[in-house]
A and B are shown apart, each in its own frame.
Chain A
Amino acid sequence: MDQTPINLLEIKGLKKTFSVSGGLFSKALTLTALEDINFSIRKGETLGIVGESGCGKSTLGRCILQLLSPDEGQVLWLGQDLTKLPAEEMRMRRQDLQIIFQDPLASLNPRMTVGDIIADPLRTLRPELNKEERRARVLKTMASVGLLPEMINRYPHEFSGGQAQRIGIARALITEPKLIVCDEPVSALDVSIQAQILNLLAELKDELGLTLIFISHNLSVVRHVSDRILVLYLGRIVELATGDEIYEEPRHPYTRALLTAVPIPDPKLARLRNIDALRGEIPSPINPPSGCTFRTRCRFAKPYCAEKRPPLETIENNRLVACHRWREIEVPQEAVLGA
């Protein structure tokens, strides 16, 4: 029996740029939000995508779902390239590919009731269902995300952040999708509610056999939920590895920097830490540094890092790293404590 895991989604050579106005007298500049993005996602896994401002993680999520059109590259869903699909077919595909947004209240139409909001994708994508059938599904889904059925006629502003996010999750689940892109789903929530929603997502994933793409800037949260983690910096992949590999043996200097910067709720460990002396700030994506874009902040940078962009190499276990010096740099024992 062929036991190779199914690649649900394959991204090949994705590139996305935006035009930014250069001001009154200069011509438009190009902002490269994503470039050279290549990876695949297996059925049933949770892929975490982590990075800071300007890394393009949200853009990547939207390009996958074709809410933004990539400039170049392919998005292969079960072998079919979504970027080439005609609009009508793509619309029908959306039953399988859903999204949960960061700001729960902003992602809900303030003038619609909760029931209508959750039923909305059904009305569009399953027009054969009648009103009762839709309502039954809405109620079932509400129960599965922990919302009381009596809430069905209420309006979004009557809910707290955590409940509103549950509504968003219900809406994403109603068409019984195979893959859900979670774009910072807990960042806007209180800590205790974050934990509830994370648990809810984990349970739903197990019960429904979902595949998740979890986008966040918080490495602790990403590590908690993900099987594999994709680290982005200024629109490029710098590392892709399992959560354990990222934690125990981070190969890219940026990944190491992230690990040492992540706040740990553990005073003793925190005191032992030596913050990776990460210099400077994230460069502007409009005018990134030449060669390796991370070199301006990297303490392992050598002159040749400025000349050529490091290719994304595959090392053991299907790990990916984009660094000229990954073989030479010694990875410390406890990377999270800094060197």
Chain B
Amino acid sequence: MAGITGKDQVLTNYAKQLETLDAPKGRSLTQDAVRRLRRNKAAVLSIFVVLFIILFAFVGPYFLPWTYDKIDWSGIRKPPNFEAGHYAGTDQNGRDMLARIMQGTQMSLIVAMVATLVSVIIGVIYGAVAGYFGGKVDAVMMRFVDIMYALPYILFVIILVVIFGRNPVLLFVGIGCLEWLTMARIVRGQTLSLKEREFVEAAKAGGAKPWTIIMRHIVPNLTGPVVIYATLTIPEIILTESFLSYLGLGVQEPQTSLGTLISFGAPVAETLPWMLIGPAVVLVSLLLCLTYIGDGLRDALDPKDR
């Protein structure tokens, strides 16, 4: 058996040949999880539905004769009328409902994505740092989280709105800045147990600095809980956005979101049912499917299933 010292020359040549070695790729944990997820029919179906909704929202408008803000003076408060091109009817201002539903879904989805991204990035780094360093650092950081939790959410949003105006971008960031709290708590908990694992100790024995350990060893192993939690928070974010829009703090006219559509549709549901049904169906489907996907991910990523 060759050693590191002694047979250096021969081995360096061997190693050079191996440089061009096309070593087969291993089967990573992620691939395993994807395989398990594919077996979950409810989750797979939900993924397709969500993809459909995304296509509907972003590609759909190109196929419609009406845009979301164009007013059809001849068709105000009209039920679905296929000849006029109003497949889902019109609202009180004569705008095409289907186009508005699409635009609203777009807005809700973008809000959800951006807010989730913001909350994941802030939450993961914050939680990992707090969990890894422990002690006073952890105590201070988590007390801050506790205080933020205690603050009334709406008050915070109102302050944001007052300072920055009713800008949808702000809305995304604002919601994200509030959602990271729970993510941070979850990540901190996971980090506390991860840092006791032997491979983290091995990394320390290999001389790694704390930041390297956090980014290279801890964060990649957080993928499971983070992905699951993020998927399950998206519905929550969409609902929060809907709620804020319902209160009038969200998107401004003529842009709309699912929540705003519902807030306008609900009071007139008896007389103009098409104004509520459309957006409601989209919202409920989205939420249900995301929940199924979240559950499916949780099962797929469960390490006990080996």
CA distance A149 to B19 in the complex (A): 10
CA distance A139 to B23 in the complex (A): 12
Q: How distant is A206 from chain B, measured CB to nearest CB, in Å?
A: 9
Contact partner, B23, options A152, A171, A173, Cβ 8 Å: A152
* B202 on the A face (CB < 8 A): yes
Check if B23 sits within 8 Å of A153, measured CB to CB.
yes
- B212: A residues at CB distance < 8 A: 124
Interface size on B, residues (CB 8 A): 40
Check if B202 sits within 8 Å of A171, measured CB to CB.
yes
Instruction: Evaluate whether A149 and B18 lie within 8 angstroms (CB atoms) in the complex, with A111-B220, A144-B3, A173-B4 already known.
Output: yes
- A176: B residues at CB distance < 8 A: 4-5
* A158 on the B face (CB < 8 A): yes
Contact partner, B16, options A136, A152, A168, A175, Cβ 8 Å: A136
CA distance A8 to B220 in the complex (A): 38
Q: How distant is A165 from chain B, measured CB to nearest CB, in Å?
A: 12
CA distance A41 to B221 in the complex (A): 38
* B206 on the A face (CB < 8 A): yes
* A contact patch SS: helix
Contact partner, A136, options B12, B220, B221, Cβ 8 Å: B12
Q: How distant is B218 from chain A, measured CB to nearest CB, in Å?
A: 10
- B298: A residues at CB distance < 8 A: none
| In the complex, chain A residues 229-284 whose Cβ is within 8 Å of any chain B Cβ | none
CA distance A136 to B288 in the complex (A): 51
Interface size on A, residues (CB 8 A): 52
Check if B29 sits within 8 Å of A135, measured CB to CB.
no
* B6 on the A face (CB < 8 A): yes
* B24 on the A face (CB < 8 A): yes
Q: Give the interface of A toward B (CB within 8 A).
A: 65, 67, 91-92, 94-95, 98-99, 101-103, 106-114, 120-121, 124-125, 132, 135-137, 139-141, 143-144, 146, 149-155, 157-158, 168, 171, 173, 175-176, 203-204, 207-208
User: What are 21 A-B residue pairs whose CB atoms fall within 8 Å in the complex?
Assistant: A99-B202, A101-B202, A111-B28, A111-B221, A111-B223, A124-B207, A124-B208, A135-B19, A136-B15, A136-B16, A139-B11, A143-B1, A143-B11, A152-B23, A153-B25, A154-B24, A154-B26, A155-B28, A168-B202, A176-B4, A207-B3
